[in-house]
Structure 1
Amino acid sequence: MSTEPGQESGGKSLFSLQRRERLMEELRAHGAITVRDIAAKLGVSELTIRRDVNILADEGLVSRVHGGATLPSPLDRSTAGRATSHSYSIGMVVPSLDYYWPQVISGARGEAEVQNLRIAVRGSAYDAADNRRQVQALLDTQNIDGLIVAPDMGGEHGKELLRWLNALPIPVILAERRAPSEIPAHKLEWVATDHAFGAGMAVRHLWQEGHRMIGCLTDSTSPTSPHVVRGWKQAMNALKIPLDKSIHEDSAKLDNGDRAKHFDRVLELCRESGTTAMLVHSDTQAVAFVQHCVDRGVDVPGSMAIVGYDDEVAYLAEPAISAVRPPKSYVGKVAVQLMAARLAEGRMRPVHRIDLNPELIVRESSVGAPRAASVSLVEDAL
């Protein structure tokens, strides 16, 4: 009987190990895989993937489900006998369970398995009082040894929350957050995406595509937006694009009717200033802006090039939107690595604060447009 390249008895060839590593990477990124999709992606037979899943399940690394696999679940009795006691328990509080944060959680859970840590996750809101309630619930019920949290840091309530977290008797690591310099949070560690760097990448990409007036559309209620704005301004200054003549608009808390009027105003400002490209945070805002441009007859990217930020739903737009993609799963992964090292080494370990670079995913919305006619096309559309 023939075998696939690199396959040997016992499934221990280098190729099969690499293949199973790819399976685990997909699981940590998405939480589940199907045999059919992974077989097509890796260019091997479905039988080969089923064998890989069986090997990983026998090692307690995955849970088998019909047609695929998931990360191990406490409800999966087949792995219960192989489970070992965890060395530490950590709590994790995030502000959303349906946008951005699922990938962060997945990365944290995957690394927790590697580090033999138990992780308890609670969803919260973008609200300091609720953040504190959820953290307190973990402290009261879960007997945790460390905490990973993405707190709301706005206003006096946010500052007080940071002071409280800094005073806790267990280590605390912030995820996608940095304590401001005015808060003496000397114990807090963090891992965060360098969003300013990501915004700068987007501006330079648009510059290289020929745009000389590049606007910025953000949501001031998001903890990420100030960093995006800072990176946009830094890149604009470096490229000698005058900020006083550039568009920077806030799209916070707009319903559908107000949003349409707001976007009309943005397009009018683009016409007046000669702006032919926009950096838009977040993804959902970018999708809405692209749809509005299409509804108003403004061609994307022919008349207006757009780069979104987050890369959660940007690929679903028509045309697909270029976007800055933060390393979300790695934020969770590195946060757990920091926690594991802190719990192992104790107070002798220096405080670590880590920035991770995002990447720019280039799609149709920002490339290949004729620049000379851009301004007149926007004007004609309006």
Structure 2
Amino acid sequence: MDYKEAGVDVEAGRAFVTQIRNLVHSTFRPEVLGGLGGFSGYFQLPTSLQEPVLVSGTDGVGTKLKIAHTLNIHDTVGVDLVAMCVNDVLTSGAEPLFFLDYLATGKLEKEQLTQVVAGIASGCKQAGCALLGGETAEMPGFYQTGEYDLAGFCVGVVEKSQLLDGSQVQVGDVAIALASAGVHSNGYSLVRKIISDRGLAWEQRPELLGGKTLGEIFLTPTRIYVKPVLAARQAGLEIHGMAHITGGGLPENLPRCLGQGQAIKINPDGWSIPPVFQWLAQIGSVSPQVMYNTFNMGIGFVLLVPPQQAQQAIHHFESQNIATYTIGEVITGSGELLGLPE
């Protein structure tokens, strides 16, 4: 008996690393030292910073992977993986530098997992960070054949004087919302339950969703906000706080960027709810409170800026083809979010 008979194909693993080598190298920045295949990756800190602060984040894709497995579409969830990490790191004002992935599967299928890594590489390019390395684990008996799980880890850097930690936020700051690309990567346990309980198929094309299949809609990858936001700061836009709207929606995530003694009042009419969320609420009989506490409701990222810079912010992000809205302001309070439907 050998390892292959136990379900682990070492040679297939080596062939997979060879197959993805060019994808990984295509993401490298000048600060990357060495190549792929060592026990660890090496990255030299940018020399332009006087007091560099490293910022880290880790996340996964969640049960959205179940849809990828069912439809055998694997080139988008890698983008989700990167987005969930780099957008978190961005909220501190940091520039993502490098990314590591962990990919676990029951049986290594090279073509399938190469699609996944291609998505990860695409996400890294969108964020301007290097795919520095990763781990592929073949675990027969732990995952079903054809299924895999993903986790990611990102490190960024910011000048200490530019670090956003809530202390910069002021009462009167305006909340500028950047549109999401859809459901992103949160709330998929509820999405899948609605689809299952209503007896729907991923190939169906609800009229409200513009003729796209449910599979296309719900595999749309998470938008990556790194380059437009960093460009805005470099152009002189004064940003006091940022929030990535992920699990828990606006109520859980937006208050996380506030300072002491502050709250945010939201105008729920400040943006249009995209059709996908209207459809989920309607077909699943989901209350507004549950919708806002589960999904991003069309807002993927929020910036807090001085009121006199609100129009500059809107102009900048709309020039980047991101729909942008003024949705509220910072008020005195105790960390709460006010104004959303109940």
TM surpasses 0.5:
no
Give TM-score, length-normalised by structure 2: 0.25
TM-score in terms of structure 1 length: 0.23
Question: Which structure has more helix as a fraction of its residues?
Answer: 1
Compare relative contact order (CA 8 Å, sep 6+) and give the higher one, 1 or 2: 2
